[in-house]
Structure 1
Amino acid sequence: MDLNLEGMRDRTAAGQWSVDEFDWSEPIEGAEGLGPRQLKDAGQMLLFVSGLERRAARIFDLCAHYAPDETTREIYRLFYEDEIRHSEAETRLAARLGVEWKDLPRPTRMAFKSMDRLADWEHRNPFVYDMASSSILLFELALDGILIPVLKERIKDPLQNEIFRRIDVDESRHLAMDYWVLDRKGDPETDWRRELPREAREQMRNPSVIRMYAHLGELLLTLLASFGAMAFTVPTVRKLARDPRHLDGYLARVRRIPHKAPNATNVETFKMSMKGLERILKVGDLVFA
């Protein structure tokens, strides 16, 4: 799978935008049929997505830390800025609905804070980089194929629509890079670990893999707990968990990953991520049946 990295960097740089370009005092349109409870649900979903975007920013920051060359590093730094901007925009959209961070379920807030505290540790761990760079595609496809489309359907607000249009453009570049990285990591002719800094290569040879897997399991459980708390307390998310329409589309895109990144099935951490996704879906089937 080929990707022009210089072109990707230039397009991403040219596509930067600011949340300050918009008038956030504009009244909300397209929500006439929604009551206070439904508006609060939409605001909570926006903040949940905002938290996930901030998590994606952490991952791109980690990818920049371990990037093999300056061009790739610049791309990931721009992606980091994209995700921070997306998170801020979604927080402001939620504020227009009268919803703030404190209105999220307490377990969800605690889960995001817990993940934020792990950021420094992640920068020192190439194992987490390996897992994160192999699994971020699954999370970005979920944002692109499930959560954001549901929010678009709930409220037909011109400002929200424009924000999501810009986010979609940014995310299309992120997905292209995600596919390329995953395919390259699985290419039998490419030893991507040799491109890591020497200290990182030495860590990758460290036998303390069990501790690393335990930590990654903690991350997965934390994320699952945050979604579970949302699903039990926010009716819109609970309905989403039961609605096969968006989920089936998401799973179809996941199944097509090897068509776009043929070497993905050679990547052990990607296969681990897929197994983790299967377990999450099984738990969801039991909880929301």
Structure 2
Amino acid sequence: MDLERMLENCRRDQWRVGDLDWSRKPRPMSREDEIAIVQLFTDMAGIERLAGALFREQERRVTAPTLKAIFRTFVVDEVRHSHAAQMLADFYDVHHYRMYRQSESLTAFAPHFVDAIHYLSDDVANAYIVAGELILDIALLRSINDFVHDEMSQEAMTLINRDESRHIAIDYHMAEYYGSEAYERRMAERETSLSLAERARGAKAFVNMLYHGHPFIRDVFLDPMSFVDPQGRRLRDAFKRMQLLGRKEETSRRPFTRFLRVLQDGVDHPLAGALLGDLLGRLGGVGKEFMARQYDDAELARVRRMSYEEMAKEALSVKEGD
């Protein structure tokens, strides 16, 4: 990937929430639809802030100046997305049916998530940002836009999706690095220098994140998707791409990727899945339905022949159509 060109694009494609035309009126909605959409945008404002925290952490960790600058623009993007989401929530809150707050599971998850990404390794942080942005970009945002189906939503989502496309391209670029032998050597050197107290803090942060992750993902991603995309086709596609990314290398070097593979294999196993599927799905945060294998052998073989950049381009191409 040409990082210098990516940085140029990041700087060129900046926009302001005020660039949107807020003078329009929302299309008429039923009470149920209005409440659901306003709550979705209210939660989206919090999700985008979490993404900004992740990119801030990645900016802190990388050493290449160009990558640091790219991640710095991503932080700005996510703050802008959060602002836009809150304004969209206010825009569609026509009848003020209730007082809207971010879901309790989101506010409970957020501090543990921020704590975890500070103490855990780079590849764990990147895995969560890839997962979150694939679900957000490929599934949730597109489905919300189709459901709302008006000019205001279309204009906002076009600009947000343009930013998210850059984010996903870099996410895959970083996934390639975190799966490399060079990164494995770097982490081996780092892990030998960690104190017992640092390891304990990391383990505690990870457990807390897993514990609070399942209700957060259910309330903020899975349940809303069942409303705006009842068939779940886009959500399954996002999970399939996450699984294929984690399986691209035949043998994983990193413990977190091996952990996720164990969970998936356990859910798919006839006996273990029947006995422990619910527990394994909860540990994975997404439930056994989406922890189960979403791809076939032919898709896995094809992905293993592709470059990471090709995988990113394919994921991004999905947004252009169904």
Superposed pair shares fold, TM > 0.5: yes
In the TM superposition, what are the counterparts of 1:1-289 in structure 2 within 5 Å? 3-28=1-26, 31-32=27-28, 34-98=29-93, 102-104=99-101, 107-108=104-105, 110-111=107-108, 115-116=110-111, 119=114, 121=115, 125-127=118-120, 129-191=122-184, 193=186, 201=190, 205-208=194-197, 209-229=199-219, 236-239=224-227, 243-257=231-245, 262=249, 265-273=252-260, 275=263, 278=281, 279-282=284-287
3-state SS, counterpart of residue 33 of structure 2 = helix
Instruction: State the one-letter code of the partner of 1:193.
Output: R
Instruction: State the one-letter code of the partner of 1:254.
Output: M
Instruction: Give 1:110 deviation, angstroms.
Output: 3.3
Unaligned stretches of 5+ residues in structure 1: none
Instruction: State the one-letter code of the partner of 2:242.
Output: V
List per-residue Cα deviations over 1:203-251 (Å, max 9, x = no partner): 863344344133122123323223444589x7x5554686332222222
**Contact 1:107/1:225 (<8 A) preserved:** no
How far apart, CA to CA, are the structure 1 residues paired with 2:97 and 2:71? 29
How far apart, CA to CA, are the structure 2 residues paired with 1:217 and 1:101? 35
Aligned residues: 269
Instruction: State the one-letter code of the partner of 2:286.
Output: L
Kindly report structure 1 stretches of 4+ aligned residues shifted beyond 6 Å: none
How far apart, CA to CA, are the structure 2 residues paired with 1:14 and 1:96? 28
Unaligned stretches of 5+ residues in structure 2: 265-279, 291-322
Percent identity of equivalent pairs: 21
3-state SS, counterpart of residue 133 of structure 1 = helix
Instruction: Give 1:81 deviation, angstroms.
Output: 0.6
TM-score (norm 2): 0.71
- Name which structure has the greater RCO, CA cutoff 8 Å, separation 6+: 1
**Contact 2:217/2:285 (<8 A) preserved:** no
Instruction: Give 1:106 deviation, angstroms.
Output: 5.3
List per-residue Cα deviations over 1:171-208 (Å, max 9, x = no partner): 111111111111111111445737x9xxxx47863344
Instruction: Give 1:159 deviation, angstroms.
Output: 1.8
- Over 3 Å counting, the alpha-carbon distance change for 1:238 and 1:172 in structure 2 is closer
- Over 3 Å counting, the alpha-carbon distance change for 1:101 and 1:223 in structure 2 is farther
- Over 3 Å counting, the alpha-carbon distance change for 1:14 and 1:264 in structure 2 is farther
Instruction: State the one-letter code of the partner of 1:17.
Output: W
Select between 7-16 and 201-210 the one with higher mean Cα deviation.
201-210
3-state SS, counterpart of residue 285 of structure 2 = helix
3-state SS, counterpart of residue 181 of structure 2 = coil
- Over 3 Å counting, the alpha-carbon distance change for 1:10 and 1:280 in structure 2 is same
List per-residue Cα deviations over 1:152-184 (Å, max 9, x = no partner): 121111121111111111111111111111111
**Contact 2:214/2:286 (<8 A) preserved:** no
Instruction: Give 1:258 deviation, angstroms.
Output: 5.6
